[in-house]
Structure 1
């Protein structure tokens, strides 16, 4: 997949999914799907009407709409347009407020998730004052038509664009039509009567409702970081932990203890469950501050574990840490990259009266994690 922040170097013509896509959740995946259909050089997928009605229910999801379903016109799949996701960097809200946002999927993770869907190109539009001042008409003409040479555009129903967020998805559809470009407005996706959105996923994570957050995402929420040296307190207690150094913009869930599965990405020779390669083949624009080797896709056998996010109050911790204890595993992890998937929230962080009480609770946490993951495998 090509990743670029320059419109001049973007591959064109394009079929574009347009939005912020933080999390690349199930709703985002529906927005991306039409451009993947173009890539497959086939007629766009026409989902059954019940999927796009209030009454349909497929795997707990409902896509409400005002009509009989989302009828994608035949013939859109013709041509050689590149399946492209266009997003903004930084997030427009961050640009206007000046406040750094934490992300469900920092850039490296977003690249991995979009690549796994089959996207050919990710264009990171630099959100500058000049871009922010473009009217809806100017944005369509200058960016989408002239520079990206869009043949198809797919957006969510709540998409806003142009100066002062003046343009709606319906406006985009009308303006693009004057240039002969079709715009597909994808209805919201519901899961258990809740609209899937990045903000709703954040709220579930903040409340420790990991299973609901994972259902909205369509996969377990994950943390990826390098193992760095800590104070080795876990080793002294009999529970060695890997201290993860995460991207500073990574969104963290509720503080507490979690049941997790860990993937050690630098141990190919020790694991016979790996795929033919563990790295995503991504062509990264030199102007973007990530390297291809940082864009990894963990596909190794998981190792069960427990993870603590917090300040370790029993030992008077002063800084927040993310520590993972791997069950039934030993070895040197320093300098290696680990991806941890969150499976269940076990308990909030708490201060114990003694180290013995803390050790007893950690043992109970490990037992609970084993039981949960064993039940998960049997489902």
Structure 2
């Protein structure tokens, strides 16, 4: 059990962020782990495994093991609520080589992380990386960039939509019931009592937030674990799985040849099928390869018919299916 101890100032400095780099790093566990988390992402894994021929997966899977310690330098805390992949990767590239070397050696000796076949070869590789940390950091950044392009970027609009929906819900929870309500529904392994956040882990530990606050990062590939970082000099971080994760890889068949497509048109039927999760026009445009003006015409028509609903979140307008839209889609699929 890990105990995170709050002072009053920490409660007023709880904030949220999402990171494409966190998804990239944590997804490596879904490729190698035999646990529930890997099974949950099986549809994604089947689609990406054939894309990884140009990526040094031996290097990346030595750095991110199915369980146990993950080097902190791979998952820097986001500075803003939403950061781009290039910005986050630049944080990794700017890491202190001495600290990188220390973390790599710690990983090489970690009894949980170094379980499983290939242990001796992994440990030798990690020590070689630690002996030349500046050059190793360059290689790690290069391979993370390649892996992002092959495994995460094609699916980022859908993942990002899930994260945005979760952040909106968590902010409402915090506004409605404060920290007690927020943490009560955050994750089954998390509990909060007065001034202490408890996270079920394989080890016993204590950490004082000491007025630094707490950063909460939803991460689709974190399930079933809760990732906790307290060694950063800035903000202690807890990463958890977002709400609705079980629907992330669900796909309704695009109803090109259906009664629904005959009524709505193929484009609007396909658009309706994509909105299992709330999405912005930018995300939908990328998913369907439609120009913004064309997309807006379809969205306006579907919203006027009460098949879609919209809400503003910051600078974006998010669209989602209404109950009527769900019924129409289900009926179209049945037909």
Using the size of structure 2 for normalisation, the TM-score is 0.30
Higher normalized helix content (fraction of residues): 2
Larger Cα-atom Rg: 1
More strand by share: 1
* TM norm structure 1: 0.28
Relative contact order, higher structure (CA 8 A, sep 6+): 2
